[in-house]
Structure 1
Amino acid sequence: MTLTPQASRFTHDHLFLGAAHDENARRTLWVVALTFVMMIGEIAAGYITGSMALLADGFHMATHAGALGIAAAAYSFARRHANNSRFSFGTGKVGDLAGFASAVVLGLVSLGIAGESIVRLFQPTTVAFTEATIIAVVGLAVNVVSVLLLAGNDGHHGHHHDHSHDHGHHHHHDNNLRSAYIHVLADALTSVLAIAALLAGRYLGWVWLDPVIGIVGALVIAKWAYGLMRDSAAVLLDTTDEHVAAEIRELLESTDDVRISDLHVWQVGPQARAAIVSVVAAASVSADAVRERLAPVHELSHLTVEYRNV
């Protein structure tokens, strides 16, 4: 007797991209285009007018355009290779890889801002307040539009699956979207701080405030970069999801007829978790019964049960 028909009932895909994946990709592409156009405009205007302020801001925006480009490319790669069998658990973590890379870029940007600010604190330079303020206001407008685009969908609303479990919504982040959001938010922050410092310098003569605020902005950006790097690295290194692990233990060991001998839980995509559970169970408890006990764990998208009967 062939087992093929029976076996086919238990097959499933490994598409853990998230229900909002395509929408997030489109929003990110719009932000990349907006940032790129602004960057080209500033660099061109800088060369035409001879303004170093415009050139500096244009090349600074180029770093963000590059990082946002990484985020957009990650969405495209994850979708294009979603069903590629070379990726054992799908491409759901490509976004976390892009998020980690973007966090590194953000960290380098914060170091650059801090270094330049410290130099200017001890070696003040002449600032063209009117020109620089106009640049900062235009940059802020672009960043506000970008923030609104990315904030329109936080990408935390489920994921595609073909498993028998129902999946819940426990606020697990799309680190790729988060990295893009932090980049434009960081740019918006620097624009707001720059406007405040420029106005104070122009009307109050507080030239020293510009580099001081630059240092403050660099520290805030560095903090955001660290948080993104920490969270995306945790996913890439398959750290245990303690919340899901605790829920599994509670459901399986609530009675004396099942004990867990080994447990591994890790993330395979936004809102998607995989688990390998090794249990020792009484003769009256079947492997299917163990699986049924774990049905309430909505985050589980891929479950392997190693069953030992005593």
Structure 2
Amino acid sequence: MHFHSLESWQHSHNFANQHQSPAEKNTKIVMVLTAVTMVAEIIAGTVFGSMALLADGWHMATHVAAFGITLFAYQYARRHASNPQYTYGTGKVSVLGGFASAVALGVVAFMMAFESVGRFFDPHGIQFSEAIAVAILGLLVNLASAWLLQDHDDHHHHGHHHDAHHHGHGHQDHNLRAAYFHVLADALTSVLAIIALVAGKFWGWIWLDAAMGLVGAAVIVRWAYGLVQDTSAILLDGSVDKKIQLEILTALETDSDNRVTDLHVWYLNENYLAATIALVTHFPQSPEYYKQQLSHISALAHVIVEVNPCAGESCSAESSTVGATASRPLTL
């Protein structure tokens, strides 16, 4: 029995930033602005009969989902920071939210595409002036949002870059930049919607509105497909890329006569990894010694090392069994 304290051997499994930053506050403002404009554009697109406006509204919905999930994940992680129910913390909450959003919005995009194709064969009347006014409003909101996010990025990022690894600002800024590019993409679809509506109003090119509906649907489907691919790999504990596995192998096997016999690396969230490693060696050290050799791989947040002393005849032909690594005998 251990009667002394175990605290020095224990660590947190929650890898989220514990404090609300100005980045998070600005993202909240942008999310509310975008959500209100999104609803206005979807309603206006339906009432005024414009597929381009509808596509712009639903494209905004992809970004409202992204902002909302990011913010919800921060708050959820803070609330459940010490909840033992989550074995490796709450890192996958945002990943699960992203997967659900991608599936839902992918279905919406297919419905939009179906409707847009129908409009080519059966054009509907469009109230151009009203639709143009709403599309311009959408563009102005996007530009204001981009300014809000960019203004913050310029002057918060530099002040906190030095401690990014310790306090999560590196990932926070990454989220902020992602939000900034989302908003710029929205501004582009707003511009395309305005062009399509102006062309329809003045030159009678009604087909261009349906074409913009198709373009918007294609953009959303592409976003949804990419997000489903990325998130499902993390949710199913998909293996990380071979580069990181090779980095772990190299770090451990270049020391002494260590040979890694079993290696599993998986995502705890989109930024951090966990690894379980079994190795065999003639010169066993403490697990902490091997963890120290991996400390340069900053994404590794949780490492378990099993150290097996090499003994008996089997050692003379011991070989690595990880992935596609070529087997080779141990040097005795």
- TM-score normalised by structure 1 residue count: 0.79
Q: 1:20 to 1:257 in 2, by over 3 A?
A: farther
The structural deviation recorded for 1:173 is: 6.6
User: Given residue 136 of structure 1, which amino acid in structure 2 is its aligned partner?
Assistant: A
- 2:244 — aligned with what? 244
Deviations 1:199-234 (A, max 9, x none): 222233222111112212211221122112211222
- 1:30 — aligned with what? 29
- 2:275 — aligned with what? 275
User: Given residue 261 of structure 2, which amino acid in structure 1 is its aligned partner?
Assistant: S
- 2:316 — aligned with what? none
Matches within 5 A, 1:190-201: 190-201=189-200
Q: 1:269 to 1:160 in 2, by over 3 A?
A: farther
- 1:220 — aligned with what? 219
Q: RCO higher in 1 or 2 (8 Å CA, sep ≥ 6)?
A: 1
Q: 1:10 to 1:234 in 2, by over 3 A?
A: same
Moved more, 294-303 or 16-25: 16-25
Moved more, 35-44 or 211-220: 35-44
Moved more, 295-304 or 29-38: 29-38
Q: 1:184 to 1:110 in 2, by over 3 A?
A: farther
The structural deviation recorded for 1:113 is: 2.2
Say whether residues 1:303 and 2:324 are aligned partners. no
Cα distance in 2 between the residues matched to 1:30 and 1:101:
23
- 2:323 — aligned with what? none
Q: 1:122 to 1:283 in 2, by over 3 A?
A: same
User: Given residue 76 of structure 2, which amino acid in structure 1 is its aligned partner?
Assistant: F
Cα distance in 2 between the residues matched to 1:271 and 1:43:
34
- 2:266 — aligned with what? 266
Cα distance in 2 between the residues matched to 1:77 and 1:159:
21
The structural deviation recorded for 1:160 is: 5.2
Give the fraction of aligned pairs with identical amino acids, expressed as a percent.
Answer: 41
The structural deviation recorded for 1:148 is: 4.7
Count the aligned residue pairs: 298
Secondary structure at the residue paired with 1:298?
coil
Deviations 1:139-167 (A, max 9, x none): 12213333454565599x85558xxxxx9
Cα distance in 2 between the residues matched to 1:115 and 1:150:
35
Structure with max Cα Rg: 2
The structural deviation recorded for 1:27 is: 3.2
Matches within 5 A, 1:146-185: 146-149=145-148, 158=164, 184=183
- TM-score normalised by structure 2 residue count: 0.74
Q: 1:73 to 1:297 in 2, by over 3 A?
A: closer
User: Given residue 92 of structure 1, which amino acid in structure 2 is its aligned partner?
Assistant: G
Q: Give yes or no for contact 2:48–2:128 (8 Å, CA) kept in 1.
A: no
The structural deviation recorded for 1:78 is: 2.1
Cα distance in 2 between the residues matched to 1:119 and 1:278:
59
Q: Give yes or no for contact 1:136–1:191 (8 Å, CA) kept in 2.
A: yes
Cα distance in 2 between the residues matched to 1:302 and 1:172:
23
Q: Give yes or no for contact 1:258–1:279 (8 Å, CA) kept in 2.
A: yes
User: Given residue 132 of structure 2, which amino acid in structure 1 is its aligned partner?
Assistant: T
Cα distance in 1 between the residues matched to 2:256 and 2:171:
29
The structural deviation recorded for 1:261 is: 1.0
The structural deviation recorded for 1:2 is: 4.9
Cα distance in 1 between the residues matched to 2:174 and 2:266:
14
Q: 1:288 to 1:281 in 2, by over 3 A?
A: farther
Deviations 1:42-71 (A, max 9, x none): 799899xx75669x8598589569735454
Moved more, 139-148 or 256-265: 139-148
Q: 1:284 to 1:159 in 2, by over 3 A?
A: closer
Cα distance in 2 between the residues matched to 1:220 and 1:18:
32
The structural deviation recorded for 1:192 is: 2.1
